[in-house]
Structure 1
Amino acid sequence: MSNNLDNFSKAALAGGTYVLAPLPYADNALEPVISAHTLSFHYGKHHKTYVDNLNKLVAGTPYAGQSLEQIIAATAGQADKAGIFNNAAQIWNHMFYWHSLSPQGGGEPPAALKQKIEAAFGDVETCKREFANAAVTQFGSGWAWLAQDGDKLTIVKTGNADSPLTHNLRPLLTIDVWEHAYYLDFQNRRPDYVNTVLDKLINWEFAAANLG
């Protein structure tokens, strides 16, 4: 992973204990698309619960004090480690999601990223449509991702706590489509949430910094 992602993940670990890393903006900074009310539950309750659960689950085990990426890699696909994997991966996914959004988001991607988007999808609008389609059609809880596969960009969706990290892909951006991410603001209108995030909040600068 790039230094950008390394630094972002280190924020989840302090003195051997997993912590709720601070948001990269104020809790009302994403309004009116995502309300402070939604963030108070999504970040303050859901994300925090994953942190609290992971600390309990890894206490006294070899996983204690390891990076989130190390835990995810070591526990993926192991049924007897599902609780550890789910909570570690959800902490990572949520941190990545917060950074995938920006109050100054939307607009045009930086030049290097735009070039890769055009090579893979033809143009930025097609990329956004495919990204939105992946997010809207993810059945049940999960995530849609813009990811890098070698030199090429791709869009994938994952269920529950899964992420590109377990599929040898490099994540660049994500949209959370668990219902708690949008239900207080958009109710059952997932397409409206997804398209508004892509138009107003998506953090192309973060994606560009994650390029390998």
Structure 2
Amino acid sequence: MALPAFFSAAPGIVLRDPLAELLGAAEGGLIEYGYADAVRLAGHSCPTVAGAYLMARAALRALYPDAVPERGSVVVTMSMAEEEGTTGVIAQVFTLLTGAAGNNGFHGIGGHHARHGLLRYGSNDLSCIAGFCRSDTGDTVYVSMDLSSVSPAPQMRMLMGRALAADATDAERAAFASVWQDRVRKLLLQHAEDARVIKVVRR
């Protein structure tokens, strides 16, 4: 599987999943996630997927500043409805990293490790994309992103039009893909820690 080299250079995150530990899926329950995992989940790489990955990573680090974040112990509440805009795509990436699932999620073992109902929609809080709340402490952070400073290349629209054309050449498709992924690369490698782009706030 040949992925762009910058995927592996993007910041990762180590989480502890007590369910994985219980079932022997990972020693100590420790699981390391990287951007490539989000790409495999979504089936593509774009600023939305990259931004969702960075927002979830930032939220978990804020909720667990002195400890390894615990997967399966965070309630995620999306501001918009599931079918609205890119909400569903972003929520899937949030689920990947937090374990929070909707009503179709895992119901637990012996009253423990349930994941269903931890992902919710429609808070209508227009100041953020989602809220992340620790189920043990109630500590909550709110995430959003502003990609205006990571603008697409001026030729993006023209290249996209050519790449989507029925008579597009391999070279034209490659040119578009290169410019498209360059924006993702900049977001992941230059703005992962940029609080103006990936915003995490407490209220």
Larger radius of gyration: 2
Q: Which has the higher contact order (CA 8 A, sep 6+)?
A: 1
- TM-score normalised over the length of structure 2: 0.31
Question: Is the helix fraction higher in 1 or 2?
Answer: 1
User: What TM-score results when the alignment is normalised by the length of structure 1?
Assistant: 0.30
